[in-house]
Structure 1
């Protein structure tokens, strides 16, 4: 039979309300009484019912984290940073994965509301913004990760993806490449839209021909399949820029399987600088993002907002990604 709060009160010889205060508002309980209750809990191996406390209070110390693709090591690092910060502050992180599917994202948001999360960290799709608005209506604070908030009443920690896309094309142009394949993800993701804007801006400035290839999901197999199309196109493409490293690694595998050499036949750049990039068979040039830092900082921001309420000042923090040059790129051979 489960041990109840009444059993603890009886063992400690205090009122049930006193035990309830100890569990929820320990500062209201005298030190001597706290010690009696702690001893009773230890003797009975009592485990507090967190769900019941959440029902009474209407909230919890649980933070939701909703990411578009947990198989992507970039978001794994984001989750690790957020989780470490949450744990250090005595919060629990509840992780959800949308698989870049707006409908699944909507379902997760409903479940997180039902779980009475105290705050949400999210990399939202354009369609997911309506769900975020619903959380805000319910006074559940949200912080965007890897996407800049458009409202000053919304906190975010993001990257300047326009700059990232632009800098990759500028670098390839400096190596002499004038025909570049751009492999991008779905337009439902702001990151993809902004990276492409940077790509096209730089291409116009540098007089570069861009061949666009778009995929529904940004995974290695998608990159592999796009590479086959590039090879079949018989175009003058000499460089390939992918919107994330997973796709770039898929492209790399396909090119090598087809007897191509990197970077002699094709220069290749990815985005995110995940851990696998440096240790690939041909180390991958990439646009680096501080994934762990993004997650950790976003978690601290949401905790601060939860704990300070109306006194919290929202921020929109933007980092500039950095080009990390490795063996997958070189100057075009004349």
Structure 2
């Protein structure tokens, strides 16, 4: 079978090869709708299959973006990836997804693999353990974007949320409900988002005049959280409210709450930082700090593609800070028991 070429399409459509090439590259600015229709019809009738590899080599692009997430088990990561993929699909851009498991070695391996595959750019939810690698990519003007986590000292596009302010609002809400002994739990302080959430907690507790001890602040590996929570709830200074730093931390505290027969919010008020899809289905319903993750993912894809397509190598990095929403539900509100009135 004779392979149909771009010349065959041009001849059948009655246009030049360069016009067909512009059509295939979606450069329609100076192309009339009639011309586009003729080319589209010629491609369909001839069953022409464009040589994507040859075109990408000519353009020095592969129409592919790499995404490295730190932990795909987080609801936030899943939703961000969905937003990225949705936008890229609309732009005819392919996405390669990698999961580093918060492992710096895996992250570096994936970054090297993606570069070997000549992806046009990489979106990272960074482990924070490869600063030299990030700096090298940025120095060589390789398109990278940091999601959810800042990397100090590396100039690159970054998308985060207002972690400090969001935790501050959660502490203030709990204080309004009468809580004085408020705790916070996160994974280790190896990334900016956890550091900022802990800082927001400290500032709120200080500003609101709520005394707290260091035992009320837990920054530990997920695997050790149950033991830390059991220790936290023994003694006279047990917290009456707790803020879970993300969805995986929440699962650990819920397990201990069930284990010890605690009642929410009577014995312990709960707030969780993350989009918890079942929050409104729990009994009681769960107060959450919601992040606009889908919107963040779409914006990340838009920014990385803008940088990839930009002819200006000195394009200044952009940092976008998205606001979160405190969705107040039953787990953090005082329950007024029926007094017969």
Scaled by the length of structure 1, what TM-score is found?
0.81
Cα contact 2:151–2:192 (8 A) shared by 1 = no
What is the CA–CA distance in structure 2 between the aligned matches of 1:26 and 1:317, rounded to whole Å?
A: 29
Deviates more, 1:53-62 or 1:289-298: 53-62
Give 1:140's match in structure 2, choosing from 142, 149, 154: 142
Change (3 A) 1:53 1:244: same
* 1:165 corresponds to: 167
Cα contact 1:54–1:116 (8 A) shared by 2 = no
Task: State whether structure 2 residue 318 is matched by structure 1 residue 315.
Answer: yes
What is the CA–CA distance in structure 2 between the aligned matches of 1:308 and 1:174, rounded to whole Å?
A: 49
Cα contact 1:264–1:330 (8 A) shared by 2 = no
Deviates more, 1:223-232 or 1:273-282: 223-232
Cα contact 2:233–2:239 (8 A) shared by 1 = no
Shift of 1:119: 1.5
Cα contact 2:138–2:156 (8 A) shared by 1 = no
* 1:7 corresponds to: 3
Shift of 1:166: 2.0
Shift of 1:81: 0.7
Shift of 1:230: 3.1
* 2:204 corresponds to: 202
Shift of 1:197: 0.9
SS at match of 1:277: coil
Change (3 A) 1:280 1:37: closer
Change (3 A) 1:190 1:332: farther
Task: State whether structure 2 residue 234 is matched by structure 1 residue 238.
Answer: no
SS at match of 2:321: strand
Cα contact 2:75–2:275 (8 A) shared by 1 = no
Cα deviation, 1:109-165, whole Å, max 9, x if unaligned, reads: 111111111112112232233222222234321122223465795222211111122
Change (3 A) 1:280 1:227: farther
Segments of structure 2 that go 5 or more residues without pairing to the other structure are 12-16, 337-341
Change (3 A) 1:253 1:116: same
Change (3 A) 1:132 1:55: farther
Cα contact 1:8–1:41 (8 A) shared by 2 = no
Shift of 1:196: 0.7
* 2:267 corresponds to: 265
Scaled by the length of structure 2, what TM-score is found?
0.80
Change (3 A) 1:167 1:109: same
Shift of 1:101: 1.6
Counterpart mapping for 1:1-334 below 5 A:
7-9=3-5, 12=8, 50-51=52-53, 54=56, 57-148=59-150, 153-205=155-207, 206=209, 207-210=211-214, 211-217=216-222, 224=226, 226-232=228-234, 235-310=237-312, 312-331=315-334
What is the CA–CA distance in structure 2 between the aligned matches of 1:197 and 1:35, rounded to whole Å?
A: 61
Give structure 1 regions of 4+ aligned residues with deviation exceeding 6 angstroms. 34-38
Segments of structure 1 that go 5 or more residues without pairing to the other structure are none
What is the CA–CA distance in structure 2 between the aligned matches of 1:236 and 1:254, rounded to whole Å?
A: 14
What is the CA–CA distance in structure 2 between the aligned matches of 1:291 and 1:105, rounded to whole Å?
A: 22
What is the CA–CA distance in structure 1 between the aligned matches of 2:144 and 2:190, rounded to whole Å?
A: 19
Cα contact 1:122–1:143 (8 A) shared by 2 = yes
Deviates more, 1:140-149 or 1:253-262: 140-149
What is the CA–CA distance in structure 2 between the aligned matches of 1:280 and 1:9, rounded to whole Å?
A: 60
